[in-house]
Amino acid sequence: MGTVDYVKDGHVATIRFNRPDKLNALTKDMTKQLLEAIREANDDDEVRVVVVTGAGQKAFSAGSDVTLLDEYGTNWHFRNRVEYNDVLRSLRKPVIAMVNGYAVGGGFELALCCDLRFAGESAKFGAVEIKLGWIGGGGVTQLLTHLVGYGQAMRLILSGDIISAKEAKEIGLVEVLVPDDELEKTTYEYAHKIASYSPIALQTAKHGCRMALSVPLEAGIMYERDMQTICFYTEDKEEGIRAFKEKRTPQFKGR
């Protein structure tokens, strides 16, 4: 029924949805595997950045396998299910979606739950649930509106249209767009680059930007200043200053 693969390469971990014959649609069991992968990434101090992607060339993910939704039972059980997008958003470390092929439905929301979206030219995005009689429940109305603005979010959610990677880049949904054959190289170069930085600084930067989505400006700036203060009293900050003075690459330890 598919798996969620977890692989670590230095300070970068990769989570891969591995059900390419079903467009990497997630099952209940795959959600449990994703939860375990997230826990492992959060608990492993060596992991500083996570890349999320799908196996094969056809899809990043098509979200939930709609043929299996009845497995959730009653409406109440469905409401209180373990939601794979909530699981992904619980990752404390920077997350990059490496989007190959279709990212639609819940798979679109998975991409939205990541901090950055790197896409190949053949990637396609869409909040398609409205065509089936419902809307997404993994954050699409909130995350997409914050990312591309109210009008563009409404346009995509109300129509269920699938858009190209080029259009996604134009409206601010995708941060980096490259030819398909350069996607993996570009994504991992960036991932390993930022993974060389202090993990404390990386996580506090993520927390600060996430805070900006839900609090007033002044409260966000106060939170940012607190996060800066935490960074200023770390060994990594001292190493950064020493390396700058000695004109060498800093060796951050996450302390």
- Annotated catalytic residue within 109, 218, 239, 246: 109
- Annotated catalytic residue within 46, 129, 184, 238: 129
Give the relative orientation of helices 140-148 and 150-159 as an angle to the nearest 10 degrees. 140
- What are φ and ψ of residue 236, in 5° steps? -60, -40
Distance CA 121, CA 117 (A): 13
Contact in structure between 107 and 126 (CB atoms under 8 Å): no
Q: What is the pLDDT of residues 109-134, one digit of tens each?
A: 999 999 999 999 999 999 998 998 88
Give the ranges where the chain is alpha helix by DSSP (H): 28-43, 75-79, 84-89, 106-113, 140-148, 150-159, 165-170, 183-195, 199-211, 217-232, 235-246
Token pair, residue 19, equals 């059900």
Distance CA 204, CA 226 (A): 10
Query: What is the identity of the amino acid at 119?
Result: A
Mean pLDDT, rounded, for 226-232: 90
pLDDT for 77 equals 61
Buried b (16+ CB within 10 A) or exposed e, 51-75: bbbbbbebbbbbbbbeeeeeeeeee
**Phi-psi group of 63: left, alpha or beta (phi > 0 → left; psi -120 to 50 → alpha; rest → beta):** left
pLDDT for 9 equals 96
Can you spell out the DSSP letters for 4-37?
Answer: EEEEEETTEEEEEEE-GGGTTPBPHHHHHHHHHH
Which has the closest alpha carbon to 107: 25, 199, 44, 214?
Answer: 25
- What are φ and ψ of residue 25, in 5° steps? -65, 140
Q: What is the pLDDT of residues 64-77, one digit of tens each?
A: 765 555 566 666 66
Query: Which domains does the chain possess?
Result: 3-195 (3.90.226.10), 199-246 (1.10.12)
Has 109 been annotated as catalytic?
yes
Q: Which pLDDT band holds residue 135 (cuts at 50, 70, 90)?
A: confident
Distance CA 41, CA 63 (A): 22
Which has the closest alpha carbon to 104: 70, 147, 65, 146?
Answer: 65
pLDDT for 83 equals 74
pLDDT for 169 equals 98
Query: What is the identity of the amino acid at 225?
Result: R
Has 175 been annotated as catalytic?
no
Whether the per-residue pLDDT at 7 is higher than 80: the answer is yes
Question: What value does the mean pLDDT of the chain take?
Answer: 91
